[in-house]
Amino acid sequence: MSIGFFDSGVGGITVLAEALKQLPKENYLYYADTDHVPYGTKSKEQVKKFVLEAVDFMAAQGIKALVVACNTATSIAINDLRAKYSFPILGMEPAVKPAVEKNGDKRILVTATPLTLREEKYQNLVTRFDKAHMVDGLALPELVEFAENFVFDPGIIQAYLQQKLAGYDLSSYGTVVLGCTHFPFYKNCFRKVFPSGTDIIDGSTGTVNYLKKILLDRNLCQDGQGKVIYYSSGRKQAANIKYAKYLDILQLANSIGC
Dihedral sign for Cα atoms in the order 82, 111, 142, 181: negative
Check if the beta carbon of residue 177 is closer than 8 Å to that of residue 96.
Answer: yes
Check if the beta carbon of residue 182 is closer than 8 Å to that of residue 112.
Answer: no
258 is catalytic: no
Give ∠ CA 149-150-152 in degrees, rounded to 5: 125
Q: How far apart are CA 24 and CA 203, in angstroms?
A: 19
Length of the chain: 258
Q: Please pick, among 70, 189, 221, 258, the residue that the annotation labels catalytic.
A: 70
221 is catalytic: no
The torsion angles phi and psi of 238, rounded to 5 degrees, stand at -65, 145
Q: Please pick, among 180, 189, 221, 258, the residue that the annotation labels catalytic.
A: 180
For residue 32, the cross-strand partners are 7, 232
| Active-site amino acid positions | 70, 180
